[in-house]
């Protein structure tokens, strides 16, 4: 007898699916029986991904989550093609790693927030009625940078702090409506958008890196269990605890990193 796959019959929308964590999540969900709607800005990659997933049930749609019209069109596509949405995985994001250097930093910060934070807000809002009618699971892929500041990436850090706080509040708000919200917080994960060049070249710091498969596994675990928060790897949580228990030491260490931080 064949094993029943975890997400058989589910319709799952995955943003940021053209590469990195989002792509891996889409592949792993399909392998576990889900029907995947893959979305990102690079349509050519999405078409290739869906062809690799196999089966006519999967779909893709080009969408820039920072654009309200694109997100609205995505929701219409999901309703028209799939008639339901059991899970939304918000993976879309980019680093925005430039330092804060004055007036020009305002526009770059707004741009990062529009994708990394408001993109998840827009997609969740647009698909909420379908999620309420389905299994009702939302997983927001944030970062440990949503709990611990990253000098040199203030805009990225702000977007992930916002996503973490919003996810916690939203979980409580949507629970009575049958929608579970989970937060996955990876540490350093080398991808096309986040190459982690400096860390990969360092003999010790490269030990901090984790593969996309680990993060995808955490996303699927969050979807199946409804866990409120998963840190990848789990021992990274020690940094968050240390920030709370020794704030002075944490800030001194942060300032030192700010002066000498390698490119990631």
CA distance linking residue 33 with residue 131, whole number of Å: 18
**Could you tell me which residues come within 8 angstroms of residue 10 by beta carbon, excluding any fewer than 6 positions away?**
29, 33, 34, 35, 86, 87, 134, 135
| Residue 77: CA count within 13 A, CB half-sphere | 19
Rounded Cα distance, 7 and 64, in Å: 26
Look at residues 254, 16, 20 and name the one whose alpha carbon lies nearest to residue 154.
254
| Residues catalogued as catalytic | 156
Report the C-alpha gap between 11 and 34 in whole angstroms: 6
The residues, any chain, with a CB within 8 Å of residue 260's CB and separated by 6 or more, are none
Place of tokens 């654009």: 67
Cis peptide leading into residue 98 (ω within 30°): no
């Amino acid at each position: 007898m064949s094993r029943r796959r975890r997400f058989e019959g589910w319709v799952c929308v995955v943003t940021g699916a053209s590469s990195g964590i989002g792509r891996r999540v889409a592949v792993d969900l399909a392998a576990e029986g889900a029907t995947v709607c893959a979305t990102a800005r690079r349509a050519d990659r999405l078409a290739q991904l869906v062809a690799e997933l196999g089966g006519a049930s999967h779909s893709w749609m080009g969408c820039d989550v920072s654009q309200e019209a694109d997100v609205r069109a995505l929701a219409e596509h999901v309703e028209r093609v799939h008639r339901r949405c059991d899970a939304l995985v918000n993976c879309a994001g980019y680093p925005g790693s430039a330092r804060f250097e004055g007036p020009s930093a305002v526009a770059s910060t707004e741009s990062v927030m529009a994708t990394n934070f408001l993109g998840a807000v827009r997609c969740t809002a647009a698909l909420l009625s379908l999620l309420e009618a389905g299994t009702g699971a939302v997983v927001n892929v944030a970062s440990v940078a949503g709990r611990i500041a990253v000098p040199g990436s203030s805009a990225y850090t702000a977007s992930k702090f916002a996503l973490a706080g919003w996810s916690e509040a939203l979980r409580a708000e949507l629970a009575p409506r049958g929608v579970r919200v989970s937060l996955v917080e990876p540490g350093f994960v080398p991808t096309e958008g986040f190459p982690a060049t400096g860390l990969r070249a360092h003999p010790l710091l490269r030990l901090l890196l984790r593969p996309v498969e680990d993060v995808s596994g955490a996303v699927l675990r969050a979807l199946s269990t409804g866990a409120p928060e998963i840190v990848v790897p789990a021992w990274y949580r020690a940094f968050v605890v240390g920030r709370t228990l020794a704030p002075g030491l944490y800030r001194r260490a942060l300032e030192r990193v700010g002066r000498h931080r390698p490119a990631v």
